[in-house]
Structure formats: structure tokens, C-alpha cells
């Protein structure tokens, strides 16, 4: 498998972006299929890639996945499902599993912590005025598995119940476990310990 993002031309509409996506990715997926390779798209919005606060790709919600797979129906084209990106968008990360079970080729284990008090203050468009201070967050932040809002026991059970038997890889973006090799390893071990309860 080869993982990537779709991307987005911020000067074009979503529909025009999908037209361009279809033109580019049809050839990529066809080439990959001939080589026995699967192309996987991570569902991260990549907000801020071009414009602060706006998604930098067109593949971050179930609505958009449906359009991706309508335009490129190849069975070698699927998702690198990361529940952390769905949590802060208030999308049910459990409900998407049965619907897209045939398209989930890889899974990222990353958590998200949502601060309800800050959400009430910043709203869905999140914080607008940042000072640049390290550790400054809006209404959410990524965490190591087990330290946020994802119910990993339920998530992994539903994955298994829907036939997923692939890799669940920890993607380390936990801001409280960075800054040194020692802290990074500590975060990874904490995530592994939590996930080990559910992966047998």
C-alpha cells in the first residue's frame, strides 16, 4: 500500500477539485492496480495547508469519501482511517466503519481530546486569535491513544466485526510527548499499552 493525500486547489470549487482529482488519480490508481498496489487516502482535513483554518484537501468526511469512490470505483483505492480527525469534526467514527468497510485498508491510532468549555467559546470555526505561544490550542488537540475521546475498545471491536484484520499503527502527534527522544518513546509506549487491551 502507498498512502497519500488528495490535496486541493484553493482557487477552485470542490466540484472542480473533484474533476481534477478524477483526472489525476484515475491514472495513479490504474497504474498501482497493475502493479498489485493499493492507494490509501488519509482522512485528515490538512487544515491550514493553503489558507489558515480551511481544509487543504477534499477527502476528510464520509460525504467526500463517497464522491471519491464514485469517481474512482477501483477496489485498489481506499482509506487510511484515522478516527482522531473525525472526533473534532463531530463525525461518528464508529458509524463510518460498516459503511466503508470494503475501503478501509489501513488504520491510524491517534486520539483527540475535545475541550467542551473551549468549544463553547470558539465554536465550530475554532480559535481565531493565536499568540504563537507553545502549547496554545483551540477546542481540541491530538493525544496518544487512550488519552482522548476515542473509545478504542469499541472502535477496534467494530473494525474486527466488519472484517478488518489489517494494521493499526500509532501515529504520534501527541503534543505532551514530544521534544525529546525519551518523551516520544514514553508516549508511544503509553499508546501501545492502551491499545494492547483490545488487539489480541
With respect to residue 138, please indicate whether it lies within any of the assigned structural domains. Answer: yes
Write down the pLDDT at residue 48: 86
With respect to residue 196, please indicate whether it lies within any of the assigned structural domains. Answer: yes
Write down the pLDDT at residue 136: 86
Is 90 exceeded by the pLDDT of residue 134?
Answer: no
Report the alpha-carbon distance of residue 191 to residue 200 in Å, rounded: 15
82 close to 94: Cβ distance less than 8 angstroms: no
- The total number of structural domains in the chain stands at 2
- Closest CA relative to residue 83, chosen from 73, 74, 75, 92: 92
| CA distances in angstroms from 15 to 9, 24, 58, 88, 166, listed in the order given | 11, 14, 10, 24, 32
Q: Dump pLDDT digits (tens) for 73-113.
A: 999 999 999 999 999 999 999 999 999 999 999 999 999 99
Candidate from 86-95, 126-135, 189-198 with smallest mean pLDDT: 126-135
Write out the DSSP string of 121-137. Answer: HH-TT--------TT--
Write down the pLDDT at residue 132: 84
* Burial of residue 196 (number of CB atoms within 10 Å: 0-12, 13-18, 19+): exposed
Q: Dump pLDDT digits (tens) for 31-72.
A: 999 999 999 999 999 998 888 888 999 999 999 999 999 999
Dihedral angle over CA of 165, 171, 174, 178, nearest 10: 140
Report the alpha-carbon distance of residue 193 to residue 196 in Å, rounded: 5
Write out the residue range of the structural domain in which residue 131 sits.
Answer: 108-200
For Cα atoms 29, 33, 35, give the angle at the middle one, nearest 5 degrees: 120
Asked whether residue 119 falls in the same domain as residue 61, the answer is no
- C-alpha cell at position 144: 496518544
Is 90 exceeded by the pLDDT of residue 135?
Answer: no
Is 90 exceeded by the pLDDT of residue 131?
Answer: no
Candidate from 57-61, 84-88, 132-136, 138-142 with smallest mean pLDDT: 132-136
With respect to residue 98, please indicate whether it lies within any of the assigned structural domains. Answer: no
Amino acid at each position: 500500500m502507498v498512502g497519500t493525500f488528495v490535496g486541493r486547489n484553493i482557487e477552485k470549487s470542490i466540484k472542480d477539485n473533484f474533476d481534477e482529482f478524477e483526472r489525476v488519480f484515475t491514472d495513479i490508481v490504474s497504474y498501482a492496480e497493475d502493479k498489485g498496489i493499493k492507494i490509501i487516502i488519509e482522512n485528515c482535513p490538512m487544515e491550514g495547508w493553503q489558507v489558515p483554518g480551511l481544509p487543504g484537501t477534499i477527502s476528510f468526511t464520509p460525504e467526500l469519501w463517497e464522491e471519491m469512490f464514485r469517481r474512482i470505483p477501483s477496489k485498489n483505492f481506499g482509506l487510511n482511517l484515522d478516527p482522531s480527525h473525525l472526533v473534532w469534526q463531530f463525525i461518528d467514527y464508529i458509524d463510518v466503519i460498516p459503511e466503508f468497510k470494503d475501503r478501509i485498508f489501513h488504520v491510524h491510532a491517534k486520539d483527540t481530546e475535545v475541550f467542551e468549555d473551549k468549544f463553547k467559546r470558539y465554536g465550530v470555526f475554532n480559535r481565531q486569535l493565536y499568540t504563537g505561544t507553545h502549547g496554545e490550542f483551540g477546542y481540541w488537540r491530538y493525544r496518544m491513544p487512550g488519552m482522548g475521546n476515542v473509545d478504542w475498545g469499541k472502535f477496534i471491536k467494530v473494525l474486527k466485526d466488519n472484517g478488518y484484520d489489517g494494521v493499526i499503527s500509532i501515529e504520534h502527534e501527541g503534543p505532551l510527548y514530544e521534544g525529546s527522544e525519551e518523551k516520544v518513546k514514553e508516549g508511544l509506549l503509553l499508546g501501545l499499552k492502551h491499545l494492547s487491551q483490545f488487539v489480541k
